[in-house]
C-alpha cells in the first residue's frame, strides 16, 4: 500500500520571517498532517507558489497556479493533478480547489459556508455568472468520495439545494486542545471584567460590532475592559487599531503568539465572537469554551453547532445592539457567566483534539481502508 497522501492547500500564511502565522486554517492543516503521520500516512502538501518550504516538519511544495475563475483555481488543480500522478490518496483542503478534477479516493474539506456574505461576488451576482459558480461548487461538493464539513451548516445548506448526496458527507467539527485550553484554577481578578475579542481584525469577524459595544459599555460600566487580541490584514490595520485603542479608555489592543493564547483566554471573563458571516465551528469559540468562559456568539454558520443559547453561552443576532445587550446582561450576572462558562467547558470536551482525530481516522478509513484502494480494471 502506498502511504503517501497528496494534499492541496490554498496557501500557508507566512509572516515576514518566513514563519507560519497560525490562523485557524494553518492549525487545522498542521494537525491534520500530524494525524495522517500518526495513522502511518505520509502527507505531502502543495500550494500555489514557487518555493518549497518546510513547515513544522511538513514539506510544502509550490505549484504554478494561473488565475482564479469563478472562485476556483483550475490551473492549480490541473498542476496538482499532474504532479501527483503517482499518488492514490488525496485531500483538497477547501472546496474551491476540487474543480475541475478530483482524483479517486479524494477528500474535500469545507471550513465554512464562506459565500454567505453580501460582499462575496458569487452570491451578489445573478444570472449566468452565479449559475456557473454554483455549477462548479456543485461539482466540487459531489465529485469527491468524501466531503468533510466542519459544521452542519454547510451540509444542511447543500442538502436544501442539492439533496441526495448525504451518504458521502460527514460532519467533523473543529477541535480544541483541552490540555492547553482549560479553565483557570483561580477565579480572575474581581476588580475588573475583561471582555475578550480574540479574532482577526476583520469586518466579517464582527470587529465593528465589537468596537461599537466597547464604546458603549466602557462608558456604561467603569470596571469593564475590552481586549482586542488578533492580527490585522496588514500593518496599517493593526496601527489603526492601536490608535483606536489608545484613544479609548479601557480598550486594549495587542496580539499574542499562539502559545500565550490559553493564558489570554484564562484572563478574560467573557469572550465575544460577533461574527457577521463565513464562519465554521470556530477554533476561537472552542478555545474560549474550553477555557470555561461565557461566550457571546452570533447565530452564524457553524457557531450554532457549538453554542446553545442560554445553556452553554449566548447566541445572538448579528447586530451591535444585541451584542451590547448580551454583554450587559452577562456583566450584571456573574453567576450566569459562571454557569454558562462551566457548561461551555463541559461542551468543549466533546470537541477535544482526541475526538477530532478519532473522527477523522474513522472517516478516512471509510474511503482509504485497505479494501478501498483504487478499483482495478
Residue 116 binds another protein (CB under 8 A): yes
Here the contacts of 99-104 (C-beta below 8 Å, separation 24 or greater) are 99/72, 99/74, 99/136, 99/139, 99/140, 100/72, 100/74, 100/136, 100/139, 101/77, 102/140, 102/143, 102/144, 104/145, 104/374, 104/375
When the beta carbons of 184 and 342 are compared against another protein, the nearer one is 342
Residue 223 binds another protein (CB under 8 A): no
Residues paired with residue 176 on neighbouring β-strands, in sequence order: 352
When the beta carbons of 103 and 293 are compared against another protein, the nearer one is 103
User: Binders of another protein among 319-338, rule CB under 8 A?
Assistant: 319
User: Shortest Cβ distance from residue 100 to another protein (Å)?
Assistant: 5
Q: Give the Å distances, CA to CA, from 294 to 172, 288, 300, 332, 341.
A: 24, 8, 17, 13, 4
Among 1, 129, 161, 258, binds another protein (CB under 8 A): 161
Residue 123 binds another protein (CB under 8 A): yes
When the beta carbons of 145 and 263 are compared against another protein, the nearer one is 145
Side-chain half-sphere CA neighbours of 338 within 13 A: 8
Interface with another protein (CB under 8 A), residue total: 73
Contact 296, 314 (CB under 8 A): yes
User: Shortest Cβ distance from residue 210 to another protein (Å)?
Assistant: 17
Omega prior to 115 cis, within 30 of 0? no
The sign of the CA dihedral 211, 215, 218, 221 is: negative
User: Binders of another protein among 136-155, rule CB under 8 A?
Assistant: 139, 142-143, 146, 152-153, 155
Please give the Cα distance from 327 to 79 (Å, whole number). 49
Among 156, 187, 219, 223, binds another protein (CB under 8 A): 156
Residue 10 binds another protein (CB under 8 A): no
Cell of 121: 461576488
User: Shortest Cβ distance from residue 213 to another protein (Å)?
Assistant: 17
Binding mask 73-102 for another protein (x = CB under 8 A): --------------------------xxxx
When the beta carbons of 10 and 152 are compared against another protein, the nearer one is 152
Going through 27-152 in order, the beta strands assigned E by DSSP cover: 42-48, 53-55, 58-63, 90-92, 106-110, 146-149
Binding segment for another protein (CB under 8 A), chosen from 3-11, 196-204, 236-244, 347-355, is: 347-355
User: Shortest Cβ distance from residue 314 to another protein (Å)?
Assistant: 10
Among 277, 286, 330, 345, binds another protein (CB under 8 A): 277
Residue 127 binds another protein (CB under 8 A): no
Residue 181 binds another protein (CB under 8 A): no
Binding segment for another protein (CB under 8 A), chosen from 65-73, 191-199, 231-239, 346-354, is: 346-354
User: Shortest Cβ distance from residue 289 to another protein (Å)?
Assistant: 11
Binding segment for another protein (CB under 8 A), chosen from 11-19, 158-166, 200-208, 244-252, is: 158-166
The DSSP annotation for 135-175 comes to HHHHHHHHSSSEEEESSHHHHHHHHHHS-S-GGGEEE----
Non-local CB neighbours of 169 within 8 Å, separated by 6+ positions: 146, 147, 148, 149, 155, 158
When the beta carbons of 136 and 199 are compared against another protein, the nearer one is 136
Residue 355 binds another protein (CB under 8 A): yes
Encode 65-84: b = buried (16+ Cβ within 10 Å), e = exposed. beeeebbbbbbbbbbbbeeb
When the beta carbons of 203 and 311 are compared against another protein, the nearer one is 311
Non-local CB neighbours of 212 within 8 Å, separated by 6+ positions: 320, 323, 324
User: Binders of another protein among 281-320, rule CB under 8 A?
Assistant: 299-301, 304-306, 308-311, 315, 317-319
Amino acid at each position: 500500500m502506498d502511504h503517501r497522501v497528496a494534499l492541496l492547500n490554498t496557501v500557508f500564511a507566512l509572516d515576514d520571517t518566513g514563519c507560519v502565522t497560525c490562523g485557524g486554517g494553518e492549525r487545522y492543516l498542521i494537525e491534520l498532517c500530524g494525524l495522517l503521520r500518526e495513522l502511518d500516512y505520509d502527507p505531502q502538501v502543495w500550494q500555489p507558489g514557487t518555493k518549497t518550504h518546510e513547515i513544522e516538519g511538513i514539506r510544502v511544495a509550490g505549484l504554478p497556479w494561473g488565475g482564479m475563475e469563478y472562485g476556483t483555481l483550475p490551473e492549480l488543480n490541473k498542476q496538482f493533478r499532474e504532479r501527483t500522478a503517482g499518488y492514490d490518496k488525496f485531500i483538497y483542503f477547501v472546496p474551491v480547489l476540487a474543480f475541475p478534477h478530483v482524483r479517486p479516493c479524494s477528500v474535500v474539506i469545507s471550513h465554512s459556508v464562506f459565500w454567505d456574505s453580501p460582499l462575496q461576488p458569487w452570491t451578489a451576482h445573478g444570472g449566468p455568472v452565479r449559475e456557473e459558480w454554483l455549477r462548479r461548487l456543485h461539482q466540487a461538493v459531489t465529485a469527491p468520495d468524501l466531503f468533510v464539513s466542519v459544521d452542519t451548516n454547510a451540509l444542511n445548506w447543500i442538502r436544501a439545494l442539492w439533496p441526495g448526496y448525504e451518504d458521502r458527507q460527514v460532519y467533523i467539527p473543529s477541535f480544541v486542545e483541552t490540555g492547553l485550553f482549560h479553565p483557570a484554577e483561580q477565579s480572575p481578578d474581581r476588580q475588573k471584567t475583561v471582555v475578550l475579542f480574540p479574532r482577526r481584525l476583520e469586518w466579517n469577524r464582527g470587529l465593528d460590532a465589537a468596537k461599537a459595544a466597547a464604546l458603549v459599555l466602557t462608558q456604561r460600566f467603569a470596571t469593564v475592559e475590552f481586549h482586542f487580541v488578533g492580527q490585522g490584514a496588514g500593518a496599517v490595520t493593526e496601527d489603526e487599531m492601536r490608535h483606536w485603542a489608545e484613544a479609548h479608555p479601557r480598550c486594549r489592543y495587542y496580539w499574542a503568539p499562539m502559545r500565550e493564547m490559553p493564558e489570554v483566554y484564562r484572563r478574560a471573563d467573557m469572550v465575544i465572537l460577533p461574527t457577521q458571516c463565513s464562519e465554521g465551528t470556530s477554533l476561537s469559540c472552542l478555545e474560549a469554551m474550553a477555557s470555561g468562559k461565557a461566550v457571546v456568539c452570533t447565530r452564524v454558520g457553524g457557531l450554532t453547532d457549538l453554542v446553545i443559547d442560554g445553556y452553554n453561552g449566548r447566541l445572538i443576532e448579528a447586530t451591535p445592539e444585541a451584542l451590547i445587550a448580551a454583554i450587559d446582561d452577562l456583566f450584571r450576572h456573574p453567576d450566569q457567566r459562571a454557569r454558562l462558562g462551566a457548561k461551555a467547558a463541559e461542551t468543549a470536551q466533546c470537541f477535544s483534539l482526541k475526538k477530532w482525530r478519532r473522527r477523522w481516522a474513522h472517516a478516512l478509513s471509510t474511503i482509504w481502508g485497505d479494501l478501498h484502494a483504487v478499483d482495478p480494471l
